[in-house]
């Protein structure tokens, strides 16, 4: 990544400049979440298994043809003095006819994203709290969280300001209804 060519005028801009100039080791990913730079190592096999099981269902069973991107950087609205959040969900989905990912830069706006997916790993609070609030502030209609520590799948929907107004939580093995434009029962038996 290249550094920004202007002198930062605020600490938040300085942090954003440092973040955008990071050169993370291969396989690692860096995110700017709530004013903190978070670097995570490559995921383990179970993490990827859960993503694969869900992505396959969304692509095959959604009422609308869905496009998918894994590890796509999203620029999200921030609150307060924090610079714009730069978050990388495990998966992002949007209607195929919108062509959200073709030709997009490394960091793209979240306009048109219908749902993001996160599978918890080493720091589960990031998915449970911080990222959830980032996605809600950005107005992403649905956030699907697979919490490996609790054995639960949670769908957050109806974003308003700092959070989602609605959540539906199911244990691994129980089906979870996804809203339009997906409109199907997500089978979570493979997550047990």
Q: What is the pTM of this model?
A: 0.80
Q: Show me where the domains of the chain are located.
A: 43-191
> Which residues, 6+ apart, have CB-to-CB distance to 129 below 8 Å?
none
For the CA atoms of the chain, what is the radius of gyration?
Answer: 16
pLDDT at 26: 79
For the chain, the straight-line distance linking the first and the last C-alpha, in angstroms and rounded, comes to 39
Q: What are phi and psi of 165, to 5 degrees?
A: -80, -25
100-149 pLDDT tens trace: 888 888 888 889 999 999 999 877 777 788 889 989 989 999 999 999 99
CA-CA distance, 138 to 122, in Å (whole number)? 24
Cβ atoms within 10 Å of 1's Cβ, excluding its own? 12
Closest CA to 119 of 83, 77, 81, 90: 90
60-93 pLDDT tens trace: 999 999 999 987 888 886 654 445 778 889 999 9
Closest CA to 91 of 133, 124, 57, 125: 57
CA-CA distance, 146 to 183, in Å (whole number)? 19
Pick the CATH number of 43-191 from 3.40.1190.20, 3.40.190.10, 3.90.1570.10, 3.40.50.2300: 3.90.1570.10
> Which residues, 6+ apart, have CB-to-CB distance to 12 below 8 Å?
35, 81, 82, 83
* Whether the Cβ atoms of residue 62 and residue 183 lie closer than 8 Å to each other: yes
Closest CA to 57 of 188, 179, 145: 188
Q: Does 176 score more than 70 pLDDT?
A: yes
């Amino acid at each position: 990544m290249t550094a920004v060519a202007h002198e930062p005028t605020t600490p938040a801009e300085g942090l954003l400049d440092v973040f955008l100039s990071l050169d993370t080791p291969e396989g690692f990913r860096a995110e700017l979440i709530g004013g903190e730079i978070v670097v995570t190592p490559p995921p383990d096999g179970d993490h990827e298994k859960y993503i694969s099981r869900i992505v396959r269902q969304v692509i095959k069973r959604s009422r609308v043809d869905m496009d998918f991107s894994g590890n796509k950087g999203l620029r999200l609205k921030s609150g307060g003095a924090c610079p714009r959040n730069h978050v990388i969900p495990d998966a992002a989905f949007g209607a195929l006819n919108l062509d959200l990912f073709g030709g997009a830069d490394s960091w793209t706006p979240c306009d048109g994203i219908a749902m993001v997916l996160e599978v918890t790993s080493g720091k589960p609070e990031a998915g449970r709290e911080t990222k959830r609030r980032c996605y809600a502030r950005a107005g992403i209609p649905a956030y699907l969280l697979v919490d490996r520590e609790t054995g639960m799948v949670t769908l957050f929907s109806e974003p308003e300001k700092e959070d989602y107004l609605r959540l539906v939580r199911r244990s691994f093995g129980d089906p979870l209804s996804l809203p339009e434009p997906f409109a199907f029962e997500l089978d979570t038996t493979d997550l047990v």
